[in-house]
A = this chain, B = another copy of it.
Amino acid sequence: MERRATIKDVAEAAGVGVATVSRVLSGGSASPRTRERVLAVAAQLDYRPSALGRNLRQRRTGGMGLLVPDLTDTFYGQLAEGVLACARSAGEPVVIGSTGDDPEQESELIGMLLEQSVDRLIAVPAGDAETWAPAARAGMTVVFADRLPAPAAGEEDPRAAAVGDLMLLDGLSPAARPRPPEAPSVLADDRAGIRTAVRYLRGLGHRRIAFLGGPGHDRRVAAFREAVGAPVDEELVVFATGSRDSAYAAASGLFQSRPDLSAVVAGGNVLGEAAVLAARELDLRVPRDVSLIMYDDVPWAELCSPPLTVIAQPGRDMGYRAAELVLRSGGRRARGVVLPTELIIRGSCGPHR
């Protein structure tokens, strides 16, 4: 249990200078003979270059940070798995943090990452643009996943709400479209997903459709309003704060205050879970009494009875893509990516009656 071998040990043992060792190990030039000897000695000494030394020297930590709202939410679990898969294949470490969808905790975590000199970050942002300013100021490369930070309070910026479209409309002339978000991002095509869901519901005859949203679902509500068209009944759009309790309360409240609604689209799997629970508690049968569509496909959606009809978004892929983006962001600011969603019809929606 002695201290690990350092580059110096290897150099001495191999009878060469430390620079040579460094070169050999990082694929630099060296005569075949030296290279072989160094490699042999290194292996023999079980030498592993210390990331600490390298990072200090290069004034930056390798790897990346990952900030998600809650690992207990299966969707973020999938997202994280994607990120980790990519990081692993790149041999890069990932420093993770869970924000609880709280901007304050998020800020603290950003601070912590800064302290660690982690300068690449993938985040499902909880705070608004203001929360994220410090990260940008510090020169961090950040890729947002799943959603974008809301514009700073006071700034009338429709960008966040509109971006869902933009990225898909590659046909538009560059000048015709608003500037892209400042940070590259990997988002699901919420707008199309929600629109498809609402149309599907309308096709089944539903007219009083509610939206059950959570933190970060603003693009989804916006899409919902748009899809429903004209003056949407504001009582049918309710928000929870992120905790399961809050989600349940919101769902239950919705069902009780508006017994006339015939369908609800839940903005995320935690909300969907809450809706199922609340409906059951209130003796509402799905889909007989109320139809339900949930955003996010998660393994247990199929276990419900009836199995839940969902808007699937590729969580794992999103994570993987985000990691790729943040890793090879050397080539300047990458464009954002929007991944398609898919309406998976199972059994939780029925005709309006």
Q: Is A56 interfacial (CB-CB < 8 Å)? A: yes
Bound-state Cα–Cα, A56 to B300, Å: 46
Q: Are B88 and A80 in contact (CB under 8 A)?
A: no
Q: A80-B71, A84-B97, A303-B300 are in contact. Are A52 and B48 (CB under 8 A)?
A: no
Q: Is A98 interfacial (CB-CB < 8 Å)? A: yes
Q: Are A88 and B72 in contact (CB under 8 A)?
A: no
Kindly state the interface size class of chain A when it binds its partner: 35 or more
Closest to A302 in B: B277
CB distance from A63 to the nearest CB of B (A): 8
Q: Are B77 and A71 in contact (CB under 8 A)?
A: yes
Q: Is A81 interfacial (CB-CB < 8 Å)? A: yes
Bound-state Cα–Cα, A85 to B100, Å: 10
Residues on A close to B: CB < 8 A?
Answer: 1, 3-4, 48-53, 55-56, 59, 61, 63, 66, 70-74, 77-78, 80-81, 84-85, 88, 91, 93-98, 105, 108-109, 111-117, 137-139, 244, 273, 276-277, 298-300, 302-305
User: Can you list 18 A-B contacts with CB-CB less than 8 angstroms, sorted by A residue number?
Assistant: A1-B137, A48-B114, A50-B117, A51-B117, A52-B56, A71-B77, A71-B80, A74-B77, A80-B96, A81-B98, A84-B96, A84-B98, A88-B98, A88-B108, A88-B109, A277-B302, A300-B303, A304-B305
